[in-house]
Amino acid sequence: MAKKISLDLIKKVRSDTGAGMVDVKKALEEAEGDVDRAKEILREKGVQAAGKREGRKAQEGLALAKIVDEGGKTVGSAIELNTETDFVAKTPQFVAYAERLLDIAVETKASDRVQLLEAKG
């Protein structure tokens, strides 16, 4: 008979790993309550899940542009931010994030992805 897995044990492993409760419970059951083995199982499954996502393309998203006047000179900035699904691309959070990135690009005059990522905004 399988060892009963306590909620406290699930919470502890979940806190340590960041994995979901169901995944943690399954890993603990598979490991028969052995926390270290359960963490190992979760790591292995995480690597496998990442491998499944590896070939997927981020083909949905937004392209935003902004034109500003800088001392009588017209300057334009544009960004493209992609995700795997249009479901995500249409969320208010994704749109707000893209708009904030565009603002940072304008404020810092970032001309490429590296400069934008390094910008303090």
Span 80-92, average pLDDT: 88
Q: Which pLDDT value is given to residue 104?
A: 93
Q: Which pLDDT value is given to residue 86?
A: 83
pLDDT of 50 above 60 = no
Which CATH topology does 7-53 take? Helicase, Ruva Protein; domain 3 (1.10.8)
Nearest Cα residue to 84 out of 94, 92, 75 = 94
pLDDT in tens, 20-47: 888 888 889 999 999 999 888 888 887 5
Q: Which pLDDT value is given to residue 4?
A: 81
Q: How far, in Å, CA of 90 to CA of 88, rounded?
A: 5
Question: How far is CA 67 from each of CA 74, 76, 85, rounded to the nearest angstrom?
Answer: 7, 4, 28
For the chain, the domains span 7-53, 60-118
Which of residues 82 and 53 earns the better pLDDT score? 82
Q: Which pLDDT value is given to residue 57?
A: 74
Q: Which of 38-47, 49-58, 94-103 has the highest mean pLDDT?
A: 94-103
Span 73-99, average pLDDT: 91
* N residues, the chain: 121
